[in-house]
Amino acid sequence: MRTLKLTVAYDGTNYVGWQRQENGLSIQQVIEEAFAPLMGAGPAGGPPPAVVGAGRTDAGVHALGQVASVTMDCDLTTSAVQGALNVRMPLDVRVVEVADAPIGFHARSQAAGKTYRYRVATAPVLSPFDRLYVFHAPGRYDVPAMRTAAALLVGRRDFASFQTTGSWPLDTVRTMLRLDVQETGDELTMEVDGDGFLRHMVRAIAGTLLEVGLGRRAPETVTAVLEARDRGAAGRTLPASGLTLVTVRY
């Protein structure tokens, strides 16, 4: 038996998210089914192995560097495994790297942190080539005010106000190492690095920072939002299309 570490990129538009679900096709299902012919003898192979992702990205969320682990009995080289998977998967899911990992490596439980990026197109007219990967919110934004608000969110904080109502984690404290706001031409980018994220947390933070940028709330009010521990105190949860999982750290 051996454990493999996969680095996966995908366009999440047509998927219900990373995790297998009964209501549609997931990234996990696509990869596991691509593994099936590599398992056992015969053209059909055998039962596919379980592929564990570092983060359970939601429906419509994209990834540049999702990490997954799989333990299997296979003597193919890592490059052969990569080629065999990619030839069997749709073009909107690609395994960009396969590496041998120590037996027992677990992509989710051993992850030390993740980086997410949220993109907002601010031009009056959205390019059709960007429509699947950004949130279109035309306007002029006070970027320095957004950066001031972002700085108040960095550190070890209770992010209960930025978690989707009804989510299960009882411990809502997370450490945010970095939250950068950049403006390039007609695009705003919010990139966050932390030790873990609550459900829809990044999208709720992005929605709150946009309100700051439009002058609808003062930058310093994000401190009160944190203290409220109430989802209603923060801004809206922005659409999934603008969010990308960039990297996972170990």
What residues are annotated to the active site?
A: 58
Nearest to 93 by CA among 32, 24, 22, 5: 32
Q: Phi then psi for 145, rounded to 5 degrees?
A: -65, -40
Nearest to 86 by CA among 25, 18, 10: 10
d(CA 80, CA 58): 30
Nearest to 10 by CA among 244, 197, 196: 244
SS3 94: strand
Tokens read off for 239:
């659409």
DSSP 8-state assignment for residue 235: -
Cβ count near 131 (within 10 Å): 12
